[in-house]
Structure formats: structure tokens, C-alpha cells
Structure 1
Amino acid sequence: MTGRVLVIGDVMTDIIVKPEGPIVIGSDRRAEIRNRPGGSGANQAVWLASAGAEIVFAARVGAADKVFYENYFRGRGIVPVLGGDPDLPSGVLVTLLDPSGERSFLTDRGANLNLGPDDLGEDLLEGVGLVLVSGYSFFASGPRRAVQALLSVARARGVAIAVDPASTGFLDEVGPHLFRNWVGEADWLFANESEAEMLSSEADFDARMRDLGTQFRHVVIKRGRFGAVLGGKDGVAVSLPAPVVTVVDTTGAGDAFAAHFVAALLGGADGAACLSKGIAGGVEAVQFIGGQPQ
């Protein structure tokens, strides 16, 4: 596979809250609170660029932040194509970290909800070998229609499509069958274990892989500390473990995994090597606070 990667997804400001202990309802709890650039699409774009891939990133932000974000992404080696929303501010995500590094989220998607056809023109596909779409882009009707239209053009042009479901919470709200209909056929699925379980009605792991493989030519399931697997309609093809590391924050680990996998794929690596690179990216991401490489 050759060409640039077009990433479509959210831009968010991540507010990361790490309390010293359990939340005290109606009172105070000391906490470490940090702001970081984030958003599933933005994280993937930055990780991909850091891995050496050529990236175009399409998204929507608050008009007041447009120049700031354009400069930020250019500084990371990314070509930004950002719409500036006059009505909604840029998205914000509050992440609550527990002592194990697991996360809970409070999400205000802001301007991301107004991503539309004007933000996703067909010219974005020029020189692109793969489109990587965050599942968040399917959960609101306006962005969904815009993304579906661009993916239809990508399919007609033979451009590969990769989808990251992004959120079990939103998947549960809309239902897996509807989400799969929205997405349509694609070349790659990057799902974590919970997302894969939710998207397939199969209880057996290998059967689940085969089920997802009827829609997605290649299926990658990220299993956190247990590593990752690659397969498709014939079941599991490759399974690799993850090394044991100290987990500080799992924010962006799945984005880092997908980015390093895709970067290796663009470099001509085989499935096992891509899986290994993806695991290494995820391992790197969990060892510091924030969803983008330091």
C-alpha cells in the first residue's frame, strides 16, 4: 500500500483528572489535573506522523481555535484541513483516571458535531492510499452523511478504508447492527476487545473474528495487556502478546496502536510485523499521561 493517509475524526482538548483517592460526593478531593491536545482522529494523525507517515487530517474546530490548531498540526508534520465552526466551540473531553490507569469519560464534542460535506471534499482523496475514520464521526447524523459520501467516492476510486469504532458507550446507544450498516464494507477494522464483542453476536472469539471478517477484509482486535490479534473471514491468523509494563494512562493507546500498525503497513510490512509495531505503539502510549506522543 502506498500514498498518504487521510485521517477523519475529532479534535478535542483532553482534561485529564487523576484523583488521589475516591471522589467525595459534595466535597473536595485533591487531584492532578492536566490539559492535553486530544481526540481520537487527532491522536491517530499525530501518532502516524511521528511514525513517519504522510498525513492529511480533516476535522472541525471552533472558529476561534482554527489558526491555533492549524499551527499545532503543521508543527507535528501534518497537513491540516480544518473547518472553523462559528457557532460551536472546539470539543472537550474530561478523562477520570483510576489508580489502575483505566479511564472514564465525559464528552462535549462541540464543533465536531457540525462536520459536513464542505469539510470533506473529494479533493481530499488526491494521492491518498488509505482513509482512517474514527467511529465518533458516525454517531451524529451530519458528520455521518458527510463521511459516508466521501467513503463512497473512496470505494469507487479503490482507496482502502479503515475504521476504528472508538466508543463502546456510543455503540451501545445506537446498536451494533445499525453502526455496521452505517459503516458499510471496509478493508480494515481496528477494534478493542469490548468493541469487537459488541459488534458481533458471536460468543466464541474465533467465530467473532469470522463474523466481522464478512464485512471487514482485515480485522485487528486490540486486547490491551494481552496483546492483539489479526484475522478475517477465515478466523484468527496472527496473535501476539504484549510486554508487561507499568501503566500510567491508557488514553490514546488504541490510537497509537492503529497508527503504528498502519505506518508499518504503508512500509510494506507483513501482518505479524504490523501487529508487533502496533503493540509497541500501544505500549509506548500507556507509559505517560495524554493521548499523543511526547
Structure 2
Amino acid sequence: MAEPAAVRATADDEPVAPVRPRVVVVGDVINDVLVRPLGPVAPDTDTRAQIVRRPGGSAANLASWLASLGDAVSFVGRVGALDHDLHAARLASLGIDPHLAADPERETGTIVVIVDADGGRTMLTDRGANVALTPDDVPPDVLDGAALLHLSGYTLFEEPARGTALDLMAGARAAGVPVSVDPSSVAFLQDVGPEQFLAWTAGASLVFPNRDEAALLAGTADPVEAARRLCTHYDTVVVTLDADGAVVARRGEEPVALPAQRVHAVDTTGAGDAFCAGFLTTWLRADDPVGAAAAGMAIARECVLRLGGGPLASVV
């Protein structure tokens, strides 16, 4: 793991605020349209619904949560030129250092999220400008002094974003910067194949699959066994299990299952991103993945109690 944040001292040896770990987050920026039908959907006519628009995207959500928890964050992504300034200003208002390329042809990615009565969601996804992330969109010095590089798995599912992500991972390894990866989508994992994804991300310090992603990647529906098997590819594996908690496994150690405190979820959009942020902000400061997972579950609980995947401060 990364070195804990150092505490600087003045000339008189009076302690001052600790240096905040800087996390480089790379991945999707999305315009979320969240739809919660207020009754059974009536075909060919109207159904009353609650509809809200929220800034989203797995990587942007995670970056927002990290910033809200006190970490320094640099964000790299690509959006449509028409709302580039809006997204850049929103990220900057949260204390994030945004590096957003403006795509002159593609619109910012959009997802229509249909939320059911139990908070589950079905997503209709148009990734838009996100798929076109190129090496030219990445500042050459973005990894300098970074404590961690976090990649959304969405960056690996299509070119040219995939090549950009692989270059960043190679640069992080060369610089000694640990890498964490969120596989992001079981449907897209099936498209590229688990073997290919494992090859692309092998050697990452951390991976955060959910139950279905872990089952596909490891070839077993048992999340404990899946975590154990995936430790042959990654140093630490955290399998998230929604309301059932999480399994934490570190290479050479037995997996640990953590129960979750159950709540009635309003919307589970972004819960995994919130969990990752809570985990990472703790992990960067202490070598305790089990404690980090507990912290992640606490942030995920906060996330699912309202519509939208980011912290309240990120709502525009």
C-alpha cells in the first residue's frame, strides 16, 4: 500500500495539518437521468414518475466522495464540448483538480437509471465522449507525487480509452504508484471476456468487483472462494455484496467476510463508488483492509438513502 500521509512540522517542531494523499482517478463522467416510477409502468401511455438529473459516472462519483472525505484528487476524463465548463466547474467546486478534455463531436455520456421500489436499478447506457479518451487527454505529470491511481473498469472496455488506461497503468508501475481497479460492469466484462480483463489488470494492488463480477472473473459463485482465487492476480481483493456486506482477501491470508448494517435503500446507484472511496481514504492512511472495508460500508450506507450516486455537495 501507499505510505501513510506524513505530518509536517514547522521550524519550532509544532505539528501542522497532515499532507493529504493525492489520488488520480481516471474514467467516466456521466449525465445521470434517474427515473423512479410511482406505480406499475403502463405501456403506450403515461406513468407518473419521479425524475431527477444528477452528475454521475462511476469514476466521477468516486472522485467526488474521495474529495468529500478529505483526499486531494486529480480527475482525468472526457466530456462533450457543450457542457465541458459545467462539469469542470462542478468538480473544481468540490476541491477536485479536473483535467477534462472537450470532445467536439460526441456528447457527454448519459445513463437513464430506472430505479425500482427496493432501490435496485436498471441502466440504459450511452458512454458518449468517455470512449474517446486518448493519451493526449492525460497531463504528462499527472502521476507525479500521486499516492494512488484508480481506474474505472469502463475505461478498459473500448478503444481508444483502453489503450490510454493501459498506458497509465504501465506509467504507475514504473513510478511505483499503486493501482486500484473497479471492474464496473458484468455485462461489459462478458463482452471482453474475463481472461482478457484479468490480463489487462494483473498486478493491480486493489480490485473491487461486486458479487456478479467476482463470480465471472473467478469462475465461482462463492464470493469467499472468488476473493481467494482473484488474489493470484491482485494483492488485495474486496468483493462487495450489496446488503450482505463484503469479503476482503489479501494474498497469503484467509478471506474475511464482513456483514453489513441493513438499511432500506432508496437508490443503489453509486453505492459501489462510495464504498471504494471510503475504503481507499482509510487504506491510504493505515495498513488495515478490513477496517477500510468497514469504512467503505459506512459511506455506501449514506449513499443509498437518496437518489443519485455522489455526495450531497456534488448535486447541481
- Interval of TM-score (by shorter of Structure 1 and Structure 2): over 0.9
Query: What is the CA distance between 1:172 and its match in structure 2?
Result: 1.7
Aligned to 1:4: 22
Corresponding position of 2:198: 180
Question: Which residue, 178, 202, 206 being the options, matches 1:160?
Answer: 178
Alignment of 1:218-237 (within 5 A): 218-234=236-252, 236-237=254-255
Match in the other structure for 2:38: 20
1:235-276 residue CA offsets vs partner (Å, 9 max, x unmatched): 643221111212100000000000010001122252221111
**CA distance in 2: counterparts of 1:130 and 1:149, whole angstroms:** 15
Match of 1:190 in 2: 208
Query: How far, CA to CA, are the matches of 1:206 and 1:88 in structure 2?
Result: 41
Matched with 1:97 is: 115
C-alpha separation in 1, matches of 2:200 and 2:40: 39
Q: 1:111 to 1:205 in 2, by over 3 A?
A: closer
Q: Answer 1 or 2: which has greater helix percent.
A: 1
> What is the deviation of 1:182?
2.4
Task: In structure 1, give the amino acid aligned to 2:60.
Answer: A
CA contact (8 A) 2:228 2:255 kept: no
Is residue 120–residue 147 contact of structure 1 (8 Å, CA) maintained in 2? no
Q: Is the 8 A contact 1:121 1:150 kept in 2?
A: no
d(CA) in 1 for partners of 2:203, 2:40 = 43
TM-score normalised over the length of structure 1: 0.96
1:275 aligns with 2:293: yes
1:82-139 CA distance string (max 9 Å, x none): 1011110111110001111100000111110110111124311011011010000001
- Higher mean C-alpha deviation, range 245-254 or range 63-72: 63-72
**C-alpha distance in 1, partners of 2:38/2:224?**
40
Q: So what's the TM-score if we normalise by structure 2?
A: 0.90
CA contact under 8 A between 1:188 and 1:216: conserved in structure 2?
A: yes
Question: Is the partner of 1:61 in helix, strand or coil?
Answer: strand
- Give the superposed CA RMSD: 1.3
1:242 corresponding residue in structure 2: 260
Contact 2:61 2:270 in 1 (8 A): yes
How far apart in 2 are the matches of 1:161 and 1:12?
23
**C-alpha contact (below 8 Å) 2:247/2:258 kept by paired residues:** yes
SS of 1:191's equivalent? Answer: coil
1:53 aligns with 2:71: yes
**What is the alpha-carbon distance in structure 1 between the residues aligned to residue 251 and residue 87 of structure 2?**
40
Cα distance in 2 between the residues matched to 1:277 and 1:212:
22
Could you tell me which of 164, 167, 175 is aligned with 1:149?
A: 167
| Distance in 1 (alpha carbons) for counterparts of 2:231 and 2:201 | 14
Q: CA deviation at 1:171?
A: 1.1
**One-letter code aligned to 1:70:** A
1:66 aligns to what?
Answer: 84
Matched length: 294
Flag the structure with larger Rg.
Answer: 2
Moved over 6 A (4+): none
Note the alpha carbon deviations across 1:172-217, whole angstroms, 9 max, x for none. Answer: 2222112212223210001111111111113444332222101111
1:29 to 40, 47, 55: 47
Share of identical aligned residues, percent? 42
The 1-side partners of 2:225 and 2:24 are apart by 31
Between 127-136 and 205-214, the greater mean CA deviation after superposition: 205-214
Equivalent AA in structure 2 for residue 174 of structure 1: V
Q: Say which SS state the counterpart of residue 55 (structure 1) adopts.
A: strand
Q: Distance in 2 between matches of 1:212 and 1:57?
A: 28
Task: Check the 8 A contact 1:122/1:153 in 2, yes or no.
Answer: no
Partner of 1:171: 189
Aligned with 2:281 (options 243, 263, 283): 263
Structure 1 unaligned residues grouped into runs of 5+: none
